[in-house]
Amino acid sequence: MEKFATALEMVTDLKPDGPVFAARPHAAGRAARWFIKNFPGEVAYAYKANSSVFLLGALYGAGITQFDVASIAELEDAATIPGVRLHFMHPVKSRLAIRRAYFDYDIKCFALDTEDELQKIVEETEGAKDLELFVRLSVSAKNSRVPLEHKFGITGQKAQRLLVKTRQVADELGITFHVGSQTTTPDAYAMAFDEVKKHIVKAGVVVDAIDIGGGFPSRYTDSVPARLSDFIDVIKASMAKMPVTEHCRLICEPGRALVAEAESLIVKVDLRKGNQLFINDGGYGALFDAAHLGFVFPVRLIRDGADPNEALEPFEFWGPTCDSIDYMKGPFMLPGSVREGDYIEIGNVGAYSRAMATRFNGYGLYTDVILQDEPIYSIYTEDLEPVARNA
């Protein structure tokens, strides 16, 4: 794996014609160390966010040894990492997946949100007595970019009945929830804890663990979240009021917050039409979130001799495929002189971008490199100005 000090050094040396994933493992390691130091419980990485070996190695090296997996394929991949503890937290699993997870990989921890799923788990583990079962509750999403309460989660009297039934068969009973991806204000967690508290009291069950899922934010051009320390303060205060014993485990499953800063995408401009730039990756590739969810990633021009003080103008991006929905509105702020043949760094794409890329139209092939400089934006270092400077 080739390493470069900066993206400019990389494009000068390689002159890539295709898109490049530029990993910054040191950024992932920094994020992992922050969570391990500051979160008042256990930290499990959401494997789906990015399974790049470069970033996984950085997380593991920093002390992340628990992983949230959502499929047998993820489980098989993560299980190759020595000494890890895996949580199968998808609330709906096939019978084969449950059986293989328990008997082939010694997975004890499963999530569920229906009585039917509970019955499947009991049957396929042959009535195992060592299960850690987490009931997924539905909580309101507040100030989240991608609300997640519509597909999974149970509420009301059904939730309380499921908690009681799960308690009867689980060695450890847990509750889990998710406030939504890219949640920018900590009060979302306070509201979720209040909802969980009501269900525990009404169900009258002893809860051994609370898994607050992910939702922790990263920084984007169009999204400036509250400080991560504010989230931790709210979580600590909320947990202190929960009707649980002092031995109740607290778990989080960050994905975006651990790896978003740790990868950039370097693209090349194939054509300019006014304020529209046709680039060599797009919505069918690593820029799914920009195309379909409206994320505005930070960008900077990578050009030798670029004027760092040149005025920035708003641009739209078109991807390389023949499909007209391969479009990213932005606005992406770049120097007005940007032209065909220039390279652009699209920053903070480490969460989900690599995982979402397809081979549509034959695109989707990437070169991998490692960069040793800092991300465009960081929520972990106060000395980095959140400004997309031109290289």
Per-residue model confidence (pLDDT) at position 151: 83
pLDDT > 60? residue 390: no
Strands 299-302 and 343-346: antiparallel
Q: How far apart are CA 142 and CA 180, in angstroms?
A: 8
Instruction: Give, as one character, the DSSP assignment of residue 305.
Output: T
For residue 2, what are the β-bridge partners?
none
Per-residue model confidence (pLDDT) at position 142: 73
pTM of this structure:
0.94
Mean pLDDT across the chain, nearest whole number? 94
Element (H, E) at 111: strand 109-112
Per-residue model confidence (pLDDT) at position 147: 66
pLDDT > 60? residue 383: no
Write down how long the chain is: 391
Q: Which band of pLDDT confidence, cut at 50, 70 and 90, is reported for residue 382? A: low
User: Which amino acid belongs to residue 229?
Assistant: S
**Looking at the domain that runs over 3-22+262-371, which CATH code has it been given?**
2.40.37.10
Q: Taking the domains of the chain in order of start, what are their residue ranges?
A: 3-22+262-371, 26-259
> DSSP readout, 116-172?
HHHHHHHHHTTS-S--EEEEEB-----SEEE--TTTS-B-HHHHHHHHHHHHHH-SE
pLDDT > 70? residue 391: no
Per-residue model confidence (pLDDT) at position 388: 42
Per-residue model confidence (pLDDT) at position 205: 97
Instruction: Read off the tokens for 371.
Output: 């960069």
pLDDT > 50? residue 317: yes
**Angle separating helix axes 228-240 and 25-38, nearest 10 degrees:** 30
CA 19 vs CA 302, 364, 390: distances in Å? 13, 8, 19
**Angle separating helix axes 156-169 and 115-124, nearest 10 degrees:** 20
166-206 pLDDT, tens digit per residue, is: 999 999 999 999 998 899 899 999 999 999 999 999 999 99
pLDDT > 80? residue 387: no
CATH T-level assignment (fold) for domain 26-259:
TIM Barrel (3.20.20)
244-303 pLDDT, tens digit per residue, is: 999 999 999 999 999 999 999 999 999 999 999 999 999 999 999 999 999 999 999 999
Per-residue model confidence (pLDDT) at position 233: 97
131-167 pLDDT, tens digit per residue, is: 999 999 999 877 767 766 678 999 999 999 999 999 9
